[in-house]
Structure 1
Amino acid sequence: MKNPFKNMRFWAVAAFVLSLCVFSSCDSDNDDEVLLGEWQKSSDFAGVARSSAVSFVIDGKGYVGTGHDGSKRLKDFWVFNPENGDWKRLPDLPGPARSGAVGFSANGKGYIGTGYDGNGYLKDFYEFDPNAGEGNGEWVQIEDFPATARYGAIAMSLANKGYVGAGFDGNYLKDFWQYDPATATWTEQVSLKGAKRLNGFAFTVNGKGYVGGGQNNSVYQTDLLEFDPATGEWSNKKGLEEADRAGEEFPVSRMYGTAFTINNNAYLVGGTAGGTSALADVWKYDPLSDTWTQLNVFKGGLRVGAVGFGIGESGYVGLGNSGSFYADDFWKLNPTLIVEK
């Protein structure tokens, strides 16, 4: 089977060229521009550098694991405490090592499943209880994801339930499923509106879920979808294209972008917009006005396949790769500070 996570070796040169503009301001007219969003170096990830890992948050702590280090898949699992910056290793994820999996938290527990193990696509799923195992947490295998095995899916948490959908199983997908921890059951939901997609981004704000980006048949998707768990229905927000947002600023559509939520806004960082290009741009999305605002660039540089999560008033982004370079750093975003560009 062809490896779907084969490194894009030519990214390294293109990333360097792009970084000259990202960090030196290619437009001299914008030298005095000020933008929101201050990035500060956080505590480095304690495991090996990797990309295409998964993350979720439980009780104000970030959980990170799995991924690909450039040569092999991984199954180690870690917790980050933002109060003191400590990383602690927890029991490894059971089952095969993997990359391109999904993770979500629901009802005080974390969940990881699907992905690619280097030989085939996966559909197994595992539940992590942080309060079991004498404080180190404990894994239990739950019912497999009921649809086809896949990688590059999207996942989100809403109202103490988890949602998983889309991705690639040999074909592009748009199905959508709910997992209810209270009954330990999967239930099929209404499929995503519009196109199928691989490696899209997803986030939740104010009790609703949002999905955008990704690729379908080599085309980058520009739509932005909103899911209401109360009705089980999808609706379209304005897309990431000039036809929908004339006169507005908005991010280019992408895959492998990193999305997270702080308070009532979502944030989108990095990814790739096609070809050999990686991105370091940062955008804030306000769902009430359906508008995007550009923030200061990500100080960690050009990055695809990173993980991100919001805790309290801050966002955290780390790991990922740019070409053959794999990262193990983490960065903290204060979205309200104004910083001169």
Structure 2
Amino acid sequence: MQKGKLLGWMLAAVLLSACKKSDDTEDENNGNWKELPEMSASPRSEAVAFVIGDTAYVGTGFDGEKQLRDFWKYNPANGWSQSASLPAAAAARSSATAFVIDKNAYVGTGFDGKVRLNDFWSYHPDKGYWEKKAPLVGPDPSINLARRDAVSFTVNGKGYVATGSDGSGTKDVWMYDPLADKWIARQSFGGSKRTEAVAFVLGKNAYIVTGTNNSELKNDLWMYDADSDNWTQKNKIANVSDDSFDDDYNIVTTQAVAFTVNNRAYVVTGTGNGVSKATWEYDGVSDRWTQVRDFEGAARYGAVSFVLGGKGHVASGRTGSLQLDDIYLFEPNATYNEND
């Protein structure tokens, strides 16, 4: 073979290999986002979401002008329809929090446009109504525990509310006993005060991560063992160690969302160093994060998330001053499909 033809063949082979590698990278099984029909509700941010059975509920929030009290339910087979709004006795609100115990949801705290709130309301889907529950108060009711932008989770049949802003960041943790309709103080969060964090549950342990305090984005991750009422610090979510595992970490954010699928947690979107579309997967066994398929909607913060049918969902939120009403489904380990 002539030298010129050999070089040409080698160059073509290199280019073909490069193209094939790019295609393989694009088709890696690192997740796929799929856009679903938009919410029937008005665009909003800083709402709450919860799942009971095979139905997700999204409600409250801020539409750019006012706080909201309406709720909407979503089922993949039936789409969106309106659900029972918070009752008139409950203030419209944004930046609230929600958790589910058994088949009842609990929604509380938040901001009504003027003041922070400490009330809680329970939704009974089988009866379609809201019931007032004990407000978030401690042993000394003169101490105001009202807050916004808290996190919540459910472990061992108890609900938990932690962190948030009462004017500045907080780190207290409160457990709700549904049988006694009572709030009980638990061990304070192990990290520093913060607001606008996220929480998720893996197995019997809850985790709190991200958020901000005094305009400083937080990079620590903490695990909570409800049985021992103890917090344990895990690896940080930024490149701060001398090891290589965190060299590419860029997870530090605020106003993100989190959900859990197949014993992996996912932290998505948020803002901090710019508005994010990143999706990060957390393995609680190895205590490691992996960046997977970027969120395919508009970069946003103040969204909601939930899990239906073993798939994560991210909906609503805002980008700048624009409120959003779209919704995307995430399938972990699926092959990327650019056409959905």
Instruction: Tell me which interval the TM-score lies in, with the shorter structure as reference length.
Output: 0.7 to 0.9
1:91 to 2:75 alignment: no
Per the TM alignment, residue 245 of structure 1 is displaced from its structure 2 partner at its CA by 7.3
1:172 deviates by 1.3
1:44 is matched with 38
- The one-letter amino acid paired with 2:136 is F
Structure 2-normalised TM-score?
0.87
Number of matched residues?
307
Unaligned runs of 5+ in 1: 1-27
Query: How far apart are the structure 2 equivalents of 1:202 and 1:246?
Result: 26
Greater Cα radius of gyration, structure 1 or 2: 2
Equivalent residue, structure 2, for 1:68: 62
> How far apart, in 2, do the equivalents of 1:109 and 1:313 lie?
20
Q: 1:58: how far off?
A: 1.1
Separation in structure 1 between the aligned mates of residue 259 and residue 242 of structure 2, nearest angstrom:
22
1:289 to 2:279 alignment = no
The yes-or-no answer on 1:334 pairing with 2:331 is: yes
Contact 1:252/1:273 (<8 A) preserved: no
Aligned residues of 2:237 and 2:250 also touching (Cα < 8 A): yes
Question: Is this contact kept in 2: 1:316–1:330, CA < 8 A?
Answer: yes
Q: Residue 19 of structure 1 aligns with which residue?
A: none
Equivalent residue runs for 1:1-341 within 5 Å: 31-32=22-23, 33-34=25-26, 35=28, 36-82=30-76, 84-94=77-87, 95-132=90-127, 137-146=128-137, 148-244=145-241, 246-248=243-245, 249-274=248-273, 277-339=274-336
CA contact (8 A) 1:150 1:167 kept: yes
Three-state SS of the structure 1 residue aligned to 2:171 is strand
Bigger relative contact order, structure 1 or 2 (CA pairs below 8 A, ≥6 apart): 1
Pick closer, same or farther for the CA change 1:251–1:157 going to 2, 3 Å. farther
Cα distance change on mapping 1:340 and 1:332 into 2, 3 Å:
closer
Distance 2:217 2:38 in 1: 32
CA distance in 1, matches of 2:168, 2:35: 39
* Ranges in structure 2 where 5+ consecutive residues have no aligned partner: 1-18, 138-143
Question: Are the aligned partners of 2:251 and 2:280 in contact in 1 as well (CA < 8 Å)?
Answer: no
* Aligned-partner Cα distance in 2 for 1:327–1:56: 18
Over the aligned positions, Cα root-mean-square deviation in angstroms equals 1.8
Contact 1:263 / 1:312 at 8 angstroms: preserved in 2? no
What amino acid is aligned across from residue 145 of structure 1 in structure 2? Answer: L
SS in 1 for 2:56: strand
Separation in 2, partners of 1:244, 1:180 = 40
Q: Counterpart in 1 of 2:11?
A: none
Residues in 2 aligned to 1:295 and 1:85: alpha-carbon distance in whole angstroms: 30
Which runs of 4 or more aligned residues in structure 1 lie more than 4 Å from their structure 2 counterparts after TM superposition?
none
Q: By how many angstroms is 1:213 displaced?
A: 0.8
CA apart distance, 1:243: 2.0
Distance 1:172 1:324 in 2: 24
Q: What is the Cα deviation at residue 324 of structure 1?
A: 1.4
The AA in structure 1 aligned to 2:117 is L
How many angstroms apart in 2 are the aligned matches of 1:157 and 1:261? Answer: 13
Q: Secondary structure at the match of 1:174?
A: coil
Whole-angstrom distance in 2 between the partners of 1:259 and 1:247: 25
Q: Return the alpha-carbon distance in structure 2 between the equivalents of residues 304 and 200 of structure 1.
A: 12
Whichever residue aligns with residue 150 of structure 2, its letter is A
Q: Which amino acid aligns with 1:139?
A: W
Displacement, 1:246? 3.2
Q: Secondary structure at the match of 1:332?
A: strand
Q: 1:245 to 1:40 in 2, by over 3 A?
A: farther
Instruction: Show CA shifts across 1:87-144 (max 9, x none).
Output: 1211111311110000111121001100111111111110001111xxxx11001010
TM-score after normalising by structure 1: 0.86
How big is each residue's C-alpha offset from its partner over 1:208-233, in whole Å with a ceiling of 9 and x where there is no partner?
10001111111111000000111111
Cα 1:232/1:286, change in 2 over 3 Å = same
Task: Give deviations 1:284-336, integer Å, cap 9, x for gaps.
Answer: 11111111111111111201011001123211101000001111011111111
